[in-house]
Amino acid sequence: MEATQEEIIFYSEKMSSPEPELLQDLHRETHMKVLYPRMLSDHYQGRFLSMLAKIHRPRRILEIGTFTGYSCICLAEGLAEGGEIHTLEMNAELDFIIRPFLKRAGIEEQVHVHYGMAIDSLKNLSGPFDMVFIDADKSNYLPYYHTIFDWVPSGGLILADNVLWDGKVVGEAYQDKETNGIRTFNEFVSNDERVERVFLPIRDGLFVLRKK
């Protein structure tokens, strides 16, 4: 009898490094106090982001879409000494969770949180960024990609979350703004010869791009 998808995910998490206690607390608090908690990165994806960052050792990371800070804390685990993260979040009301957990993680001095529309916040930033994680409004993925691309040096990483979008990107049944935004982004990147790419079915889909 073949294992179900849920059993495979459970087994994958069990075989991976455990979720740190701090992130367990953040996961629990987000689910208790914030709307749409499924936007949070989970244990398995979080350990993958942490592993990528530890391998790459970026000095500067740009995160587009903070939510309550789970993925930011994971990425910070791999920062080079003296490194920093700039993270963009539309909803300033989430600060009551973000700030205390950044402090508990001991990274409040390394993380710069920019509140407001990401497309506006990006106007006040500039590269280089060794690693970029895109996880914000899906209809703007491609504009974000175009904006940050020249900020990433050769060998730098660009990650994009939710690129499966609950499977809606497959086929043509769904034509809403968010699905079409992800679909357009995926198709553009898959034909962009400036990057090496791997599309991973982790959680809701993760595109991993390495700039040539």
User: What string of pLDDT tens digits covers the 212 residues of the chain?
Assistant: 678 888 988 899 999 999 999 999 999 999 999 988 888 888 999 999 999 999 999 999 999 999 999 999 999 999 999 999 999 999 999 999 999 999 999 999 999 999 999 999 999 999 999 999 999 999 999 999 999 999 999 999 999 999 999 999 998 888 899 999 999 999 999 999 999 999 999 999 999 999 99
Residues in Cβ contact with 190 at an 8 Å cutoff, skipping those fewer than 6 apart: 197, 199
Token readout for 15 is 């075989």
For residue 105, the Cα-to-chain-centroid distance in whole angstroms is 18
Dump strand ranges (E) for 11-149. Answer: 60-64, 84-89, 111-115, 131-134
CA distance 212 to 208: 13
What does pTM read for this prediction? 0.95
CA distance 111 to 70: 13
Question: Which residues share a beta bridge with 180?
Answer: none
By 3-state DSSP, what share of the chain in percent is helix, strand and coil, each rounded to 5? 45, 15, 35
Task: Say which amino acid occupies 193.
Answer: E
The pLDDT score that the predictor gives to residue 2 is 79
Token readout for 65 is 């879409």
The pLDDT score that the predictor gives to residue 15 is 96
CA distances to 7, 90, 124 from 26, rounded to whole Å, are 24, 19, 29
The pLDDT score that the predictor gives to residue 103 is 97
The pLDDT score that the predictor gives to residue 8 is 87
